[in-house]
Structures are given as structure tokens and as C-alpha cells.
């Protein structure tokens, strides 16, 4: 990071209006301009970060809302990643976070964690709580590796092939939704490759300041992607965070697309997935890493307009508060942001006459956070991935 980047900020305060941390704490240190002011002073003296400074740096969801709204185009995410990177190099990272990042860096580590999760009794057989996280988490099923083939051919005539990058959450937690990604694309004439030697996209490591591990993971994945050049037209993800990492932090040999972009911009909302029923009343939560990092905005709304009674929700782009490891190590703050989002969802559905209500999003991390936030606040609205809505509509059409 160039230190001049810090001086672009003129402390106008625009970031205060959109920062989810500031919205629930009112703490100036929680907002981008506050963190920049602290870093400017520390970098001038080349001082080691104090515990107070580390606390301020950790209280950031890395949602990018400040950067997205900034009239000066301050690259705040680059600033926070560099600052956290300096802390990591100075050994100022907790043992718990080091262990978590280490586990995420290998497929065996992630698989082991989810295998342990399958042994934990669920509330009503559906959900359980981890002591450290104290959140409602869907009970993991079998990993995607054991449920689908490495190539799933299209049904009928083939339009093209894609390489699907499921990411950790869909590969090990939301496996049913990942399977539906494959089935939906197959039904639209798209063949789907999966490469189970791929690893975590590395975004949790990058935002935590562990740049070395991120570089190792991205280099490994890029080498795997290169094996598919000439075989596939696109690299596709249905996780907003993975999509952001791939598009913005990788030197890709294949064009990456979010599933919403592929369905709308490339497949042009094939008639098989549109125009049937309009039964549920839906609202869409814009994942920060989809809207603010990839500029994917109209595509999911177009899909929902075709498949449901869709209405724009006030606060649809307000961060849910997940932020990956932020939801674990800054759990109370994450829950406060989630509570604020839950109230927005409840207000949006208030006085809605349609019986079936669904909150839709397009990121497994957001699904985890939104589900937990709604349950804790007693708001009975299910959370679904947009692929689930599409798949269910196609199933009804074929019945």
C-alpha cells in the first residue's frame, strides 16, 4: 500500500452514513475516516500497534460500503488489509485466529471441521450452536465432493461448459444449493466441471492480513484453473465473497462470472426459469461482495421479478454483519449489525398480504448471518439462495 493512499481522505464523513459498525456503535474509531486518522499518526512515527489500535482495526467487517460510497475513491480495503498485514508480521495476531486461518488453508482442515459439526446434536435436528460462535448454524451434510461428478453434462443440446468454483461454504455446508447450481445449469444446456483439488479462495486470509497464505492459495487455484483453459467458457461462482476474490485479487486465465451474471447476461433468462407462478413474496439482500465489489445489482432483481412477487427492500444494501471471521472474533458487534438488518427485513414485509414470504440473497455467508439474525429476533422469514428459488420454480414447472 502506498502511504499516499491515506492522504486522499479529506475526512468528509460520507463513510459514517454507510458504515455498519458506526451505525450500531456511533464510535468514530469504527468508521473509515477514524481508522485512517489513527493510521496516519502511527505510520508517521513508525510505531508498533497498541492493543487499542488493534481493537479498532479488528472492528471492520471489510464490507466495502465506505469505499463504495466514497466521493474521493479512497481504497480503504487496501488500507485495512495493509494495516492488518503489518500487525501479522509483527506477531500481533491471536492464536485463535491463526488456528482458524490455518484450518481454512487446507481442504482437510475444512472437511475436518464440518465432519465434527455433523456429530453435534441439532436443535430439532436442523440446527446447532457452536460454543465459540453461539450462532444458529445449519448442520453440515456430506461434502460436495462425494455427491456430484467432476463433470455433469447438459440436458439436451450443449451451449457451452463452465468450471464451477463452489467455495468452502457451498462445498462443505450448503451442499444442496451447490448441487442445484449444477442441475439448473445442466437444464439450461450448460455442462459443469468441478475440480476438487481447488482450495479456499483465500479471502479470509487476505482481509486478516495473512497475505503470504493468500498468495499461496491463489497461486494454487490459478494453476488449477489453467488446466481448464480451452475447455470451458467461464469460471462461475455462486458465493459473492469468492467471486469478489477471484475477480479483484486473482490474475485469472478464465473469465469469472457470478451465477446471476451468467443467468441474465449470458443465458438471457432462459424461458425455462421464468414466468411461472409468482407465488412467494420476496425481498433481496444485496451481499456486499456482490453489489459493492462486483457491481452486480440488476441481475438478481430481474430474476426475482420473473419468479416471484418481488419488491425492493429499504436497506437491501445494508451489510448483514457477517464478514467471515468478523462474526466469530467480533461476535457481539456482528450480532448487533445483524439485529439492525433483521428489523429492516421485518419492516419490509410488514402488512404484506401474501402468506409465503422469503428473504433471498446470493452469498452463503449472508445466508448464515441472516438466518441467525432473524431467528434470534423471532422473525419467521426463511432465507434462501437465489438458486434455490430458481430450482424450486423449475421443479414446479416440470411437475
Kindly list the domain boundaries of the chain, sorted by start residue: 4-89, 144-266, 271-398
Q: Is the pLDDT of residue 399 over 90?
A: no
Whether 300 and 284 have beta carbons less than 8 Å apart is answered as yes
Q: Is the pLDDT of residue 198 over 80?
A: yes
Helix (H) or strand (E) holding 200: none
CATH code reported for the domain at 4-89: 1.10.1060.10
Q: Is the pLDDT of residue 141 over 70?
A: yes
The mean pLDDT of 8-26, rounded to a whole number, is 94
Question: Which pLDDT value is given to residue 124?
Answer: 40
Percent of the chain with pLDDT over 90: 68
Q: CA dist 65 to 35, 40, 118, 260, 303, Å?
A: 15, 21, 35, 21, 24
With b meaning 16 or more CB within 10 Å and e meaning fewer, what string describes 269-286?
beebbbeeeebbbbbbbb
CATH code reported for the domain at 144-266: 3.40.50.1860
More confident residue, 399 or 98: 98
C-alpha cell of residue 58: 479488528
Question: Which pLDDT value is given to residue 378?
Answer: 95
Question: Which pLDDT value is given to residue 43?
Answer: 80
More confident residue, 68 or 269: 68
Question: Which pLDDT value is given to residue 19?
Answer: 95
Least confident of 101-115, 128-142, 289-303, 328-342: 128-142
Question: Which pLDDT value is given to residue 42?
Answer: 80
Question: Which pLDDT value is given to residue 125?
Answer: 39
The mean pLDDT of 94-109, rounded to a whole number, is 83
Percent of the chain with pLDDT over 70: 89
Q: Is the pLDDT of residue 316 over 90?
A: yes
The mean pLDDT of 55-75, rounded to a whole number, is 93
**At 94, is the pLDDT very low, low, confident or very high (cuts 50, 70, 90)?**
confident
Q: At 388, phi and psi to the nearest 5?
A: -65, -40
Question: Which pLDDT value is given to residue 103?
Answer: 81
- Read off the pTM: 0.91
Q: Is the pLDDT of residue 101 over 90?
A: no
Least confident of 10-19, 126-135, 293-302: 126-135
**At 273, is the pLDDT very low, low, confident or very high (cuts 50, 70, 90)?**
low
The mean pLDDT of 167-192, rounded to a whole number, is 95
Question: Which pLDDT value is given to residue 131?
Answer: 43
Please count the CA atoms within 13 angstroms of the CA of 362 that sit on its side-chain side: 34
Q: Is the pLDDT of residue 380 over 60?
A: yes
Whether 47 and 113 have beta carbons less than 8 Å apart is answered as no
CA angle, 50 then 55 then 61, to 5°: 140
What is d(CA 3, CA 44) in angstroms, rounded to the nearest whole number? Answer: 10
271-398 and 144-266 share a CATH fold = yes
Q: Is the pLDDT of residue 133 over 80?
A: no
Give the highest mean pLDDT range of 97-111, 147-161, 273-287. 147-161
Question: Which pLDDT value is given to residue 354?
Answer: 85
CATH class of the domain defined by 271-398: alpha beta
Whether 265 and 244 have beta carbons less than 8 Å apart is answered as no
Amino acid at each position: 500500500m502506498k502511504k499516499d493512499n491515506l492522504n486522499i481522505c479529506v475526512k468528509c464523513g460520507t463513510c459514517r452514513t454507510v458504515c455498519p459498525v458506526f451505525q450500531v456503535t456511533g464510535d468514530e474509531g469504527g468508521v473509515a475516516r477514524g481508522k485512517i486518522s489513527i493510521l496516519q499518526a502511527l505510520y508517521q512515527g513508525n510505531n508498533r500497534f497498541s492493543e487499542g489500535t488493534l481493537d479498532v482495526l479488528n472492528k471492520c467487517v471489510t464490507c466495502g460500503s465506505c469505499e463504495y460510497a466514497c466521493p474521493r475513491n479512497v481504497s480503504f480495503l487496501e488500507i485495512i488489509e495493509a494495516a492488518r498485514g503489518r500487525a501479522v508480521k509483527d506477531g500481533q495476531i491471536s492464536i485463535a485466529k491463526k488456528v482458524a486461518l490455518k484450518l481454512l488453508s487446507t481442504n482437510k482442515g475444512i472437511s475436518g471441521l464440518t465432519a465434527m459439526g455433523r456429530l453435534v446434536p441439532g436443535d430439532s435436528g436442523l440446527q446447532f450452536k457452536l460454543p465459540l460462535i453461539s450462532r444458529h448454524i445449519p448442520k453440515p451434510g456430506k461434502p460436495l465432493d462425494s455427491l456430484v461428478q467432476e463433470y455433469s453434462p447438459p440436458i439436451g443440446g450443449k451451449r457451452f461448459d463452465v468450471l464451477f468454483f463452489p467455495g468452502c461454504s457451498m462445498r462443505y455446508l450448503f451442499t444442496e444449493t451447490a448441487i442445484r447450481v449444477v442441475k439448473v445449469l445442466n437444464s439450461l444446456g450448460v455442462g459443469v466441471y468441478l475440480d476438487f483439488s481447488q482450495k479456499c479462495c483465500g479471502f479470509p486470509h487476505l482481509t486478516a492480513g495473512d497475505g503470504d497464505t493468500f498468495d499461496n492459495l491463489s497461486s494454487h487455484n490459478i494453476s488449477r484453473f489453467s488446466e481448464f483453459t480451452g475447455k470451458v467458457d467461464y469460471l462461475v461462482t455462486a458465493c459473492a465473497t469468492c467471486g469478489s476474490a477471484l475477480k479483484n485479487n486473482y490474475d485469472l486465465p478464465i473469465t469469472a462470472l457470478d451465477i446471476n451474471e451468467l443467468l441474465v447476461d449470458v443465458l438471457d433468462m432462459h424461458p425455462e426459469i421464468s414466468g411461472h407462478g409468482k407465488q412467494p413474496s420476496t425481498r433481496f439482500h444485496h451481499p456486499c461482495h456482490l453489489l459493492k465489489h462486483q457491481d452486480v445489482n440488476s441481475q438478481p432483481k430481474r430474476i426475482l421479478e420473473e419468479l416471484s412477487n418481488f419488491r425492493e427492500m429499504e436497506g437491501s444494501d445494508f451489510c448483514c454483519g457477517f464478514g467471515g471471521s468478523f462474526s466469530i472474533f467480533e461476535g457481539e458487534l456482528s450480532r448487533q449489525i445483524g439485529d439492525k438488518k433483521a428489523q429492516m427485513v421485518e419492516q419490509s414485509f410488514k402488512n404484506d398480504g401474501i402468506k409465503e414470504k422469503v428473504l433471498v440473497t446470493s452469498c452463503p455467508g449472508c445466508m448464515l448471518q441472516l438466518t441467525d439474525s432473524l431467528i434470534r429476533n423471532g422473525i419467521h422469514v426463511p432465507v434462501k439462495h437465489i438458486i434455490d428459488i430458481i430450482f424450486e420454480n423449475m421443479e414446479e414447472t416440470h411437475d
